[in-house]
Amino acid sequence: MATCSVKDWQGTATTEVELDLRVASEATASHVLYLALKRQLTNSRQGTVSTLTKGEVRGGGRKPWKQKGTGRARAGSIRSPLWRKGGVIFGPKPREFDLKMNRKERRLALRTALQSRIDDLIVVEDLAGQLEKPKTKELIQAFTRWGIDMANQSVVLILHERDETVYYSARNIPNVKVITAQNLNVRDLLANDWVVATAPAIEFIKQTFGDPA
């Protein structure tokens, strides 16, 4: 069982919160995380890239020159893939990228990813009301008080619910990403140097993604 100190806006530890999630075994943890990350990255692809085949390229209906007697190689169309601006052989076409993963495995991967970042997890009190209006400078100062080097480290900030003031304060900080607990994902948990979560967000994660078994 891991215990995290809950810091207030000024960076002072006030209370503690327990984080004891049921995670994958040591032998399978890396593979479960790999599958979940692969699924997330693959499913994020739009699959809208498209190239034109010989039959789709405009023009080229007339034979460019007669078959024999010119001394040149035989040619049937200027839109042949062998020609410049011709069609593309076996080029990409629109398709759907969709990898399946059952819900129990997805939640197991989320719990494993979050629990593995326990040393880099900072739990703070609810940020609602801390910022009267969007103020990037004040949010950067808060991150610094919480022990984060904002010049060289990246942060994922997990809120219980979307807070427009916090969102607008953070959107101009290139190394900070704000998500809600409902949108918790493996990539953001693993790709950032620090995970900052509000205490209500931690409780939501434990209730929603926790495994009572």
pTM score of the predicted model: 0.82
The Cα angle at residue 170 between residues 164 and 176, in degrees rounded to 5:
130
Q: Dump pLDDT digits (tens) for 138-181.
A: 999 999 999 999 989 999 999 999 989 999 999 999 999 999 99
Q: What is the largest CA-CA distance in the chain?
A: 92
Whether the pLDDT of residue 213 is over 70: the answer is no
Provide the percentage of residues in the chain whose pLDDT is more than 90.
78
Specify the pLDDT at position 5.
87
| Contact yes or no for 204/162 (Cβ under 8 A) | no
Put the strands of the sheet holding 121-124 in their side by side order. 13-19, 2-7, 121-124, 194-198, 155-159, 176-180
Alpha carbon distance 114, 28 (integer Å): 16
Q: Is residue 200 pLDDT above 90, yes or no?
A: yes
The predicted-structure confidence for 94-124, as pLDDT tens digits, reads as follows 999 999 999 999 999 999 999 999 999 999 9
Distance CA 34, CA 56 (A): 39
Residues ≥6 apart with Cβ < 8 Å to 53: 87, 88, 89, 91
With residue 17 as reference, give the H or E element that holds it: strand 13-19
Q: Which domains does the chain have, with CATH numbers?
A: 2-43+100-209 (3.40.1370.10), 46-96 (no CATH)
Q: Which phi-psi region, left, alpha or beta, contains residue 18 (left: φ > 0; alpha: ψ -120 to 50)?
A: beta
Q: What pLDDT score does 89 carry?
A: 94
Which residue reads 């739990």 in tokens?
123
Instruction: Render pLDDT for 8-19 as a digit per residue (tens, 0 to 9).
Output: 999 888 888 888
